[in-house]
Homo-oligomer: A and B are copies of this chain.
């Protein structure tokens, strides 16, 4: 009680940027991931669960000239002086596993992984330092059939969790086509790949912002630069008008059919070998998907998809939800991207020196869950347990027998385990638990061999103003023989 004692008490707080998940938060995410895993399993993908902790060396975040690993990760030094860190994604650990177990894993190796990752970044509203990722990758296949398969699987996964066909679209593009266009525009020299790297970075990021900036904004960034509403100026790629128009043409290359889009892209990449190869790959992907029945209502070639990450080397894809929601300010907008991925052929090479082709997709777990809630496919308030109340604390055995019978019948049921003195508190508890039925048996009912069932759902409706007729036709409280407890509760719940 002394003040100095109280001030030494630890604070009961989650660390900044972390959160706890309660009840339905856990079960809804689990149900969604279980459904996705079922699809991945059917496609022949095996689960992999790597440890949360990796060596910083394996994560590839180590900067040799600084004391601490890159600030983006949570890292610490172990007893031998080696730096360890929490994984920041599921791809880096896969690359490590693919190298470490290269003689034991099947090749190609299809694997999926679901679990938390950690980022040592500034937290913000809805931005946490621990969050879930859900990845599927094929390591060891250079065939674009692997990319096509990932797209088909992503489409299946979205439908299985509850996004109906027509409410999503998987868009496919190819970095090689974009690089071919860059070649034509004169900002990529195949004989000197490092040249114009800064310009290409600006072009890539500009295209990635088309949804937000519109054509005019992107066009400005391709040229001298862009001044935003606040007056801030972002330096552009410095392309000439002719160069910029080639890139703009690429972004507008989407036609009504995949074949027409491919034909337009072929015009744009002209003589670029890489570009032609990229268009050919896109055509093959479209054919392979078509052979399985995945038409443009589900998966389309769309040149405006580039994906931000630098490590993609071929096909890239993105799943977008096309239905509208209201944003924080009440404006309608498309829900947007919930998954993305692509081909990355160089990640395993870091470890072994040998190039290993790989392609994969990552679902934004929290985004997709938010989408399901927006569509009413998750987040429906789950019914709570039946609550057996305690009228007479000397007969706890009788009450436990009741709750045991209900549970054995498969019903979710609880005995009130707080102090039973105040019966009002017990009903408040049942209410907090969203209980549909309270079971009550005082000594009088016990003597007569009956129990009282209180319909808490109906009770709440009556309190909320249900009509007298409704109240009469279905009383909020019934008395039934003790032997009929389970059946009567089942009736009330049905």
Interface residues of A (CB under 8 A from B): 1, 6, 9-16, 18-23, 25-27, 41-44, 46-55, 57-58, 60, 74-76, 78, 82, 84, 86, 96-97, 99-101, 106-108, 110, 116, 118, 129-130, 138, 140-143, 145-146, 148-149, 152, 284, 287-288, 290-293, 350-353, 385, 396-398, 400-401, 403-404, 407, 410-415, 417-419, 429, 432-433
Contact = CB atoms under 8 A, between A and B. Distances in A.
A290 B148 contact: no
A18 B54 CA distance: 9
Contacts of A27: 47
Contacts of A84: 15, 74
Nearest to A13: B100
A442 to B, nearest CB: 18
> What secondary structure prevails in chain A residues at the interface with B?
mixed
A206 to B, nearest CB: 32
A299 to B, nearest CB: 13
Nearest to A6: B353
Contacts of A97: 12, 20
A486 B291 CA distance: 16
Given A20-B50, A140-B418, 20 more contacts: A12-B96, A12-B97, A12-B99, A12-B100, A14-B51, A14-B54, A15-B55, A15-B84, A20-B101, A21-B48, A23-B47, A26-B47, A26-B48, A42-B410, A43-B407, A140-B417, A145-B400, A287-B397, A291-B400, A292-B400
A152 B307 CA distance: 53
A78 B432 contact: no
Contact of A22 (B10, B48, B57, B288): B48
A87 to B, nearest CB: 11
A155 to B, nearest CB: 11
10 contacts: A9-B352, A13-B58, A14-B100, A20-B48, A20-B97, A21-B47, A23-B48, A52-B116, A52-B130, A288-B400
A424 to B, nearest CB: 14
Contacts of A118: 52-53
A306 to B, nearest CB: 25
A375 to B, nearest CB: 23
Contacts of A352: 9, 12
Contacts of A149: 400, 415, 417
Given A74-B76, A429-B107, A433-B106, A51 B145 contact: no
Nearest to A401: B291
- Which of A12, A13, A23, A101 has the largest number of chain B CB atoms within 10 A? A12
Nearest to A49: B21
Given A106-B432, A140-B418, A10 B52 contact: no
Contacts of A418: 107-108, 140-141
A78 to B, nearest CB: 7
A11 B400 contact: no
B414 A44 contact: yes
A50 to B, nearest CB: 5
B412 A41 contact: yes
Contacts of A58: 10-13
B26 A53 contact: no
The 3 A-B residue pairs with the shortest CB-CB distance, nearest first, are: A291-B397, A44-B414, A12-B99
Between A46, A110, A284, A417, the greatest number of chain B beta carbons within 10 A of the residue's beta carbon is seen for A417
A298 to B, nearest CB: 13
A34 to B, nearest CB: 8
A385 B12 contact: no
A152 B407 CA distance: 11
A386 to B, nearest CB: 9
A101 B352 CA distance: 49
A44 B385 contact: yes
Contacts of A353: 1, 6, 9
B417 A138 contact: yes
A420 to B, nearest CB: 9
Given A49-B20, A108-B418, A414-B110, A10 B140 contact: no
A418 B105 CA distance: 13
